[in-house]
Amino acid sequence: MAKNFAKLIVGLGNIGPQYTYTRHNIGFMAIDALAKEYNVKFDIKKKKSALGVAKIGDKKVALLKPQTYMNISGEPVLYTASFLKIPPEDIIVVCDDVTLPVGKIRIRKEGSSGGHNGLKSVSYYLKTDLFPRIRIGIGEPPEYVPLENWVLSNITLKEYQILSKTLKVFKKVIEVILFEGIDSAMNKFNGLEPEDYEDILESSDLFSFNLED
């Protein structure tokens, strides 16, 4: 079990059915989309973790949804990374970002938490912020809505229509990271806006690999 994993991909969110469709849980939604694509079951129960294993091409990847609240997500991330012997540079953390337009993807090799409590917790437990992260925009709240209320509110139908395309592109992002590297993924996706995603999903020219080879 604890051998030959290319990456540990972590989606951040809050546990409990009341949070399932909230903006703050876009990290969980992204991991679930990846799990559905690759027929992954989260049937490995470790410390405060729901863990599954995906085979993407010839790469073995661990998918993790911490079974804690957002602000203590780092504990199961550290436990799982230690158990699987995965270094921080091979841990990809996926989370929401209120500073990005709804559905926009931004990939970074490393960086600060930007005020995100889940990222802050992961950095604290790993004792480094030198791990890749993929932020997915949920938009800024209206002036009259407190930030906490905004992130813990359910996404709207209009947002869902945008985010459903984003989650399909997210799967392509992970494939590019695995087979071309994170620099290639940053170059290909960071400059795109959500309205570009339909064209990206229909194009094969963007990718230099074939998972069926």
Indicate which residues carry an active-site annotation: 24
Task: Please check whether residue 106 is in contact with residue 194, taking contact to mean a CB–CB distance below 8 angstroms.
Answer: no
Angle between helices 157-180 and 182-189 (to 10 degrees): 140
The number of beta carbons lying within 10 Å of the beta carbon of residue 75 is 17
CA distance 138 to 194: 12
| Nearest of 108, 116, 50 to residue 79 by alpha carbon | 50
Pairing of strands 91-97, 59-66: unpaired
Strand partners, 154: 22
Pairing of strands 91-97, 133-137: parallel
Q: DSSP letters along 82-99, please?
A: HHHT--GGGEEEEEEETT
